[in-house]
A and B are shown apart, each in its own frame.
Chain A
Amino acid sequence: MAKQIEVSDLDAYYGSHKAIEGITMTIEPRSVTAFIGPSGCGKSTFLRTLNRMHEVIPGARVDGKILLEDQDLYGDDIDPVSVRRTVGMVFQRPNPFPTMSIFDNVAAGLRLNGRRSKSELEGIVESSLKDANLWNEVKDRLNKPGSGLSGGQQQRLCIARAIAVSPAVLLMDEPCSALDPISTLAIEDLISKLKNEYTIVIVTHNMQQAARVSDKTAFFNLAGQGQPGKLIEMDETSKIFTNPTQKATEDYITGRFG
């Protein structure tokens, strides 16, 4: 189920502005890969190229190749909609559908994939909410709106919604940046649990978080304002945080800039 991602020489643009340049990396299945780097270095842009969400912004486009196992995500005959059904995403701010109940939020992706029996839906919704460590908190109010939950619960609801369609990869764009420390801890525990089943990629500004949850860490940087972001170095998280190869990585990790 979890799949490997292989990126080679990827550039991404917003109109004529090149946001990232020449990214090549391999993301391992059943592991957590963290992207770190200063604001504007293109790590979120890169994350969004992995499920073709980058191109929903008018004028945005991508050059290069991304292989999910052997499938070229940017191949001519590939429908971006089907890519997004395989590569799920969790956003910076929790975004449950405000007009839908908790149950319907989790079932939303399943309903897009065709008709299912009610009992099947109920089973998947329950198991997804359990996997997202939310079931015990919401099982008595599944028909209440999702917007009534706390921020941390909403984010776990969004994770449940993303994993309900059993994606191969789960992308997380700063999933804890809008949350308090306790909710953050709950999400981090969840990430450690989910990596047994999914390929997880997480963008974070919190270096302790990257150190805590990830197996590999990729450091992105940009040469200056208006310059494209580049991948500086990617390695085992323990190595990046103790003995990075690049000077720029060490400076960033130790807080000397960024």
Chain B
Amino acid sequence: MGRSAFRRSHGEGPFRYATTGAGILVLVIMAAIAVFLIVRAVPALQANSANFLTEQTWTPNASPPAFGIAALAWGTVISSFLALIMALPVAVGVALFISHYAPRRLASVLGYVIDLLAAVPSVVYGLWGVIFLVPFMRGPSEFLNTYLGWIPLFAGESVNSKSILTGSIVLAIMILPIIAAISREVFLQAPTMLEEASLALGATRWEMIRMSVLPFGRPGVISAAMLGLGRAMGETIAVALIFPATFTVTLQVLTGNGNSIAANIANGFGEATPIGQGALIASGLVLFVITLVVNTAARLVIARRKEYSRAAA
């Protein structure tokens, strides 16, 4: 008696504070990390005798220290995009095969294998790259250089199989399972009524996929690709073993030139002076900015189609 039937339930208050607290905590930790990185990076940037954005050397441990992000940022971007270009079509094909072509039993086995591959640690791919792919790529690299050398990408005086291209292939294989796994989930969610709409118009299975499944799945595939790209850009160990670790901006992905931000951090952090560490931290901040820009661009692409993708389903 005396208790209102409409009283607030007991669990509500503590639960709300707990979730709000958790949300705030994440933001505080993020801010703290950012502040720490900036504080460590600023002295190195001040001591830098070269232009950080354009310089193509990395000697932060020398005196005076000289280092620039240009070659590293370029290597990161080109190797990741090459990996994405190689992985995306294959991943979408695999996902479509599993979701719309394979018999049910084969599809579930394949789906499981893909999920498993997505969970393999990257160092395994890196070792495979060094031990198998680097020697293997000697022939194909020379072939590309000799016969397709007129394409700037494959040009160059001499070929080295420890190259950006080899690293990109390893990255592509690494990000393929995760793109395929997410794309498959998205394709499976394509509404049956939209698939039947195109089938009833006399679409073949491939036409049905083009009319109903791919448009529905496009935002999901873009997100999957961005996740893969982010993983490729941040990948450290696998490419640290393979990239040639020189500091030149070049399109020639077959030559013994190139490096990436993450690989350079892994290779250089151990013997770095305090200034050297600050320089590496500054390069990490640049990597963070690149990832942010790429993700924002992807969100804009998805948002631009929003009016259309507000599915009737």
Contacts and interface: CB of A to CB of B under 8 A. Distances in A.
Contacts of B194: 95, 97-98
A88 B212 CA distance: 17
B203 A93 contact: no
A81 B204 contact: yes
A95 B215 contact: no
B187 to A, nearest CB: 15
Given A81-B204, A147-B310, A147-B311, A97 B199 contact: no
A89 B312 contact: no
Interface stretch (A38-46, A50-58, A196-204, A241-249): A50-58
Contacts of B32: none
Contact of B308 (A84, A95, A98, A154): A98
A85 B198 CA distance: 10
Contacts of B305: 99
Contact of B201 (A145, A146, A147, A161): A161
A232 interface: no
Contacts of A100: 215, 308
Given A95-B313, A98-B310, A99-B215, A84 B197 contact: no
B202 A91 contact: no
A132 interface: no
Interface in B282-313: 305, 307-313
Contacts, number: 85
B141 to A, nearest CB: 41
B115 interface: no
A109 B311 contact: no
B307 A158 contact: no
A233 B196 CA distance: 30
A113 B203 CA distance: 9
Nearest to B311: A98
B239 to A, nearest CB: 37
Interface centre among B104, B194, B218, B312 (most CB of A within 10 A): B312
B18 interface: no
B193 interface: yes
A165 B201 contact: yes
Interface residues of A, number: 32
DSSP majority for the B interface?
Answer: helix
A192 interface: no
Contact of B198 (A82, A108, A113): A108
Instruction: Please classify how large the interface on chain B is, using the bins under 10, 10 to 19, 20 to 34, 35 or more.
Output: 20 to 34
Interface in A60-114: 81-82, 84-85, 88-89, 91, 93-100, 108-109, 112-113
B307 A145 contact: yes
A89 B211 contact: no
Nearest to A101: B308
Given A58-B104, A145-B307, A145-B308, A95 B193 contact: yes
Given A95-B193, A97-B194, A147 B203 contact: no
B201 A84 contact: yes
A213 interface: no
Given A99-B215, A112-B207, A145-B307, A85 B202 contact: yes
A129 interface: no
Contacts of A125: none
B203 A96 contact: no
Nearest to B199: A56
Contact of A91 (B197, B211, B309): B197
B211 A108 contact: yes
Nearest to A109: B201
Interface in A101-150: 108-109, 112-113, 145-148
Q: Give me the 5 closest cross-chain CB pairs, A-B, nearest first.
A: A85-B202, A99-B215, A89-B200, A109-B201, A98-B311
Interface of A: 51, 53, 56, 58, 81-82, 84-85, 88-89, 91, 93-100, 108-109, 112-113, 145-148, 154, 158, 161-162, 165
Given A97-B194, A108-B201, A112-B201, 4 more contacts: A53-B199, A95-B196, A97-B212, A98-B309
Interface of B: 104, 191, 193-204, 207, 211-212, 215-216, 218, 305, 307-313
